[in-house]
Each structure stands twice: as structure tokens, then as C-alpha cells.
């Protein structure tokens, strides 16, 4: 499919990556068909491309985690300016307020697991449910951060 090839090549991929993404996409689609979890809301071509885009994104995330970047460590002053202890405390508190399964979704995602792997580990129906759950948890975390009194206070001081 030309759209998949164009997308992968246009997003740091190679010809080999194109065939890998295409094969993985077919496998995901086949699994959805055989498990009766395929519910098309668009044409098959668009749905196929959406799966391919997600597969490629997951592969890019995995590659990004394995590539070692050789960067000089930042100067002490720079790292202190970028570090925000208030924000770290607020996020940590908000994270602790999440339910255990919500924390697990974010931890698995930050560990670089794909939505499909998250769905399997958490016994979710499929990767679509995993993607939706992660989105909802992220939104809940952001709301908890916004409601935190210390965060509100820090916003007032920044103005």
C-alpha cells in the first residue's frame, strides 16, 4: 500500500521498515478479525492505515529507547534552572492519587510497551482499549495536577 510506504519513509523509516510495518499491520488486523473485535467506523483502507501508523509509532518509540545519545551532560546551572521541584512534587502527589490500574497503564507506557502489550498485560480487550485507557488516565492526572493547591500557588507566583 503506497500510503503506508510513503508514511513510513517520510517518518525516518527504511524500505525494510515498510515491509515490517506492513506485515505487523496485517497481523493486528487479522487478530482483530479472528477475535471479533474489529468494528469498522471508516473504510478498510483508512482503518488499515491507522493501524500501520500506530505500529510505526510504537516501533519508533522502541527504537528511540534503544538508541544511546552521546550528549555532554548539561552544566550544573542549566540543569538547576530546568528542574522544577514544585512541579515534580505536584505530579508525584497526583500520580499517587490515581488508582493502581491507572498507575500501571502509565508505568507500562513509560516503560516503552506498545498498546498491544499493555492490553495483554492488563487483560484489556485490545489495543484500542489500552490506548483509550491511557488517554483517560493522562487526562485524569492532568486534572489532579491542575487542582493541586501548590500548583495553583506556583502559577500565581509565575504571573
Residue 76 has what pLDDT? 47
d(CA 90, CA 132): 24
87 pLDDT more than 60: yes
Percentage with pLDDT > 90 across the chain: 5
Look at residues 26, 7, 115, 103 and name the one whose alpha carbon lies nearest to residue 62. 115
Instruction: Supply the mean pLDDT for the chain.
Output: 79
State if pTM tops 0.75. Answer: no
Residue with more model confidence, 86 or 59: 59
* 116 burial type by CB count under 10 A (0-12 exposed, 13-18 middle, 19+ buried): buried
4-22 pLDDT, tens digit each: 888 888 888 888 888 888 8
Amino acid at each position: 500500500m503506497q500510503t503506508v510506504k510513503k508514511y513510513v519513509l517520510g517518518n525516518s523509516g527504511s524500505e525494510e521498515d515498510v515491509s515490517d510495518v506492513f506485515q505487523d499491520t496485517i497481523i493486528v488486523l487479522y487478530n482483530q478479525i479472528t477475535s471479533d473485535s474489529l468494528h469498522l467506523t471508516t473504510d478498510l483502507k483508512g482503518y488499515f492505515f491507522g493501524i500501520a501508523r500506530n505500529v510505526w509509532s510504537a516501533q519508533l518509540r522502541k527504537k528511540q529507547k534503544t538508541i544511546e545519545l552521546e550528549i555532554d551532560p548539561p552544566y550544573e546551572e542549566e540543569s538547576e534552572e530546568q528542574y522544577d521541584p514544585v512541579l515534580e512534587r505536584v505530579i508525584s502527589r497526583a500520580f499517587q492519587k490515581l488508582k493502581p490500574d491507572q498507575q500501571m497503564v502509565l508505568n507500562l507506557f513509560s516503560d516503552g510497551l506498545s498498546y498491544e502489550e499493555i492490553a495483554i498485560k492488563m487483560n484489556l480487550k485490545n489495543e484500542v482499549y489500552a490506548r483509550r485507557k491511557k488517554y483517560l488516565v493522562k487526562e485524569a492526572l492532568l486534572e489532579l495536577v491542575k487542582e493541586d493547591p501548590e500548583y495553583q500557588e506556583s502559577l500565581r507566583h509565575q504571573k
